[in-house]
Amino acid sequence: MPVRAAVPWVAPFALFMVLLAVLKPLAIPQPWNALLWIVLLVSALLIFSRSVIELVPKHFVMSTAIGIGVFMLWIAPDALFGDGYRSHWLFDNSIVGHPTAGLAPDERGDVLTLWLRAARAVLLVPILEELFWRGWLARAVDSFDDFRLRPLGSFTTLSFWATALLFASEHGSYWDVGLLCGLIYNAWMAQTRSIADLIWTHAVTNGCLSAYVVLANKWQYWA
């Protein structure tokens, strides 16, 4: 596999996963924790990924609609079945983790922390995740020796499902809605062949979810 060619697609997401593992145990107080996330992720995207980032969607209206629809699917189980839905062993165990909130109660009233946390979810995570999941991994599954031989948005049955399942696993206790989200995003990527549309769709989903977290006091969605 051409490692150098994969770096722009993979490096920011790899840093994101490292930060998830490292920063939480350090318990850096807010808003410094949120600010550190922003600085490190912005730096990674600028250093490694400027050449592959596309931010102008070709299908703005439909990408927006899909993003809103995915948000509604994301909150639907808890809205329909109550907060106890996530306490079922399928979503609360040693394998997928536990549905806990990412911000402590005393941090939820800090306006700067909330804005920084939302900026991470809306402006940065969609870029680094889409570059990795649908920009690189989907192609690498089908052509690991050189993912560049596969055009953006090209899936086989294997890459379509493998990407969706792994995307679901990244979302821990929310793997069920994560799987639905991954399937929809994959389908839209196959339709548009546009990483910009997927970044925008993902950003809309995360934007709606961030607003819902704060306005409806549903902090569990910010893990």
Instruction: Report whether pLDDT(1) > 70.
Output: no
Res 135 pLDDT > 70: yes
Would you state the structure tokens that stand for residue 18, as one six-digit string? 């490292």
Does residue 183 register a pLDDT over 80?
Answer: yes
Give per-residue pLDDT as tens, 95-134: 999 988 889 899 999 999 999 999 999 999 999 999 999 9
- CB-based burial label for 50 (10 Å; 0-12, 13-18, 19+): exposed
Q: Does the pLDDT at position 87 exceed 70?
A: yes
* Block residue for tokens 């109550």: 82
* Structure tokens given for 106: 């005393």
pLDDT at 83 over 80: no
Per domain, the residue ranges of the chain are: 3-221
Coil, strand, or helix at residue 93? Answer: strand
**Rounded distance, CA 49 to CA 70, Å?**
26
Question: Binning pLDDT at 50, 70 and 90, where does residue 215 land?
Answer: very high
**Does residue 199 surpass a pLDDT of 70?**
yes
Angle 64-169-77 from CA coordinates, rounded to 5°: 60
In this prediction, residue 24 carries a pLDDT of 81
Say yes or no to pLDDT of 189 above 70.
yes
Determine the 3-state secondary structure of 97 from DSSP. strand
Q: How confident is the model at residue 25 (pLDDT cuts 50, 70, 90)?
A: confident
**Predicted pLDDT of residue 102:** 83
Mean local confidence (pLDDT), 19-46: 93
Check residues 162 and 220 and name the one with the higher pLDDT. Answer: 162
